[in-house]
Amino acid sequence: MTSVSVEARPDLRTPARLAGVTAAVVALAVTELARAVTADVPSLVVSVGDVFVDGLPGDVTRTVIGAIGTADKPALLIGIVVISALIGARTGTAALDRPWVGDTVFAAFALLGALAGLRAPLATDGGAVVSAVLGGVAGAGTLRLLLGTARSWTAPAHPGGADAGRRQFLVLAGSVGLFAGVVGLVGRSLGLSRTVESARRDVVLPEVRGGTTPTAADAGLDVDGITPLVTPNDDFYRIDTALTVPQVDPASWSLRIDGMVDEPVDLTYADLLELPVEEHQVTIACVSNEVGGDLVGNARWLGVPLRDLLERAGVRDGATQVMGHSVDGFTAGFPTELLDDPDRPALVAVGMNGEPLPIAHGFPARLIIGGIYGYVSATKWLRRIELTTLEAADGYWIPRGWAKEAPIKTQCRIDTPRGDQGAGRVPVAGVAWAPTRGISKVEVQVDEGPWEAARLGPGTNDDRWVQWVYDWRPTPGRYRLRARATDGAGDTQTADVAPPAPDGATGYPTRVVNVS
């Protein structure tokens, strides 16, 4: 095929630009897809971004990183993709007359990509080179194919004429580019979760230097079907507004404490792990939990005491609210006054049951405050702690109809028996919680009979739930069981039935059992 001069066919310029952009997107998408397939391959875009950041003088780097945020440098990465697309567009028009220009540019892409990728800490050298070469070959090939198609379709000989051919070409190249873009983004997000999960696995949590870590007592009561005292991470309820779980790379994450403070404090993940940590068993609950529901769990939370961090920043007089901000925009606020009670646990938590926080539960850091529902306290993927006033700001759920202040209500749950039972010995058992107040008593009622005291399991702190069991010896029949808990101050939970909104469900948990 003879090449057509650009000057002679100016209407080839737009198709050529589009072909070049599409080829660039294909090249990048191939490398991101390879990254999603195996951890041996680095993300080429991220590697190039790292070279860029490392190459800048230190203070510029800090300003840039500060300005572009923590969520894996999104602005920098978008910038690299845009520049690649612009270079692709220029390459497209240049390659119209001189096809070797396209090959050369994509060879340079492969070379520079491989060099950047070789520096990526978690990938192998082979993975870096192979993926960069694959990307370069895919880009060069796509460009040649599309330019060839553009030439023949925009020729007057095309059925329907050159204009129709041109339109068809734009649609073709546009769809290929769009498809590659989507594949690249999917590859990118899969690759990112791989990066963050492997960074998480590499974390070594600090030794505990304070707090409570009950161990022997954690065995709990030996009753079939009762909730374990410590909820395993995989079974822990998850509630958040995130459509996709935020993947926060701890290497670029930092926490800022600001607002009504004497001196804002910035901490990297490494800084945080160097501070003295405590571990506390704290039962957290979702305000949406129905009576008898399972949106409640107890874990060993390891973290830096929030009070230590606030002391560093120096909370100014007049600050009445602590507002946690998540990387995804979620916010949760509670009165600073709650921190005046030295017995209430308040942590910037980094560990959960001896592991780094699972990604779904807020990695790299979240807030855990004893005694108040999650939506006013437990900000996951924490990025910022702002000191403000109760009047000046409302957390995410407050304008959506939930109470501004929300202590966890005294509540209990019947775990067993479930379903039909044989007569004889049928233990009735479950958990009860009133975090920070503790549980002093759980009682069980059979039909309209008297309230009978259940036996409480090991109770080592007021912030976690207790197990309870009542030895029931029923004869055949159909029964209604109810349970109620009394907190450490002697207040029994209310029998009044209320829905979760606006500040937590109430009423006694009930279960109907057939005994034969």
Report how far residue 113's alpha carbon sits from residue 107's, in angstroms, rounded to the nearest whole number: 10
Q: Does 233 bind ligand MTE (CB under 6 A)?
A: no
Position among 374, 427, 504, 507 found at the interface with ligand MTE (CB under 6 A): 374
Residue 241, binding choice from ligand MTE, Mo ion, none, Cβ under 5 to 8 Å by partner class: ligand MTE
User: Residues 225-244: x/- map of binding to Mo ion (CB under 5 A)?
Assistant: --------------x-----
| Binding partner of 236, given Mo ion, ligand MTE, none, CB within 5-8 angstroms per partner class | ligand MTE
Question: By CB under 6 A, what part of segment 354-373 binds ligand MTE?
Answer: 361
Tell me the window of 55-63, 136-144, 153-161, 231-239 that interacts with ligand MTE (CB under 6 A): 231-239
Tokens describing residue 272? 């945080």
Does 500 engage in binding with ligand MTE (CB under 6 A)?
no
Task: Tell me how many helices (H) and strands (E) the chain has.
Answer: 9, 19
Site for ligand MTE in 330-349 (CB under 6 A): 330
Residue-by-residue DSSP string for 327-341: TTS-EEEEEGGGGGS
Q: Give me the residue label for tokens 């901000």.
A: 325
Kind of pairing between the strands at 265-268 and 277-285: unpaired
Task: Tell me the number of residues near ligand MTE by CB under 6 A.
Answer: 18
Owner of token pair 């029949």:
477
Decide: 397 and 427 in contact? Cβ < 8 Å. Answer: no
Residue 286 is a binding residue for Mo ion (CB under 5 A): yes
Tokens standing for residue 143: 């460009």
Pairwise CA distance, residues 21 & 28, whole Å: 11
Determine the residue type at 450: P
Residue pointed to by tokens 């010896």: 473
> In the window 375-404, what residues touch Mo ion (CB under 5 A)?
375
Q: What is the DSSP letter of 26?
A: H
State which residue, 64 or 203, has the beta carbon closest to ligand MTE: 203
**286 in contact with ligand MTE (CB under 6 A):** yes
Non-local CB neighbours of 491 within 8 Å, separated by 6+ positions: 410, 437
Q: Is the dihedral of CA 40, 46, 52, 57 positive or negative?
A: negative
Among 73, 188, 380, 413, binds ligand MTE (CB under 6 A): 380
Q: Which does 240 bind (CB under 5 to 8 A by kind): ligand MTE, Mo ion, none?
A: ligand MTE
Instruction: Output the CA angle 212-214-217, nearest 5 degrees.
Output: 155
User: What does 328 interact with, of Mo ion, ligand MTE, none (CB < 5 to 8 A by kind)?
Assistant: ligand MTE
| Nearer to Mo ion (CB atom), residue 96 or residue 285 | 285
Specify the DSSP class assigned to residue 296.
E
CB of 380 to ligand MTE, least distance (A): 4
Q: How far is the CB of 430 from ligand MTE (least distance, A)?
A: 19
Q: Could you list the residues that contact ligand MTE (CB under 6 A)?
A: 236-242, 286, 326, 328, 330, 361, 374-375, 378-381
Residues that bind Mo ion (CB under 5 A): 239, 286, 374-375
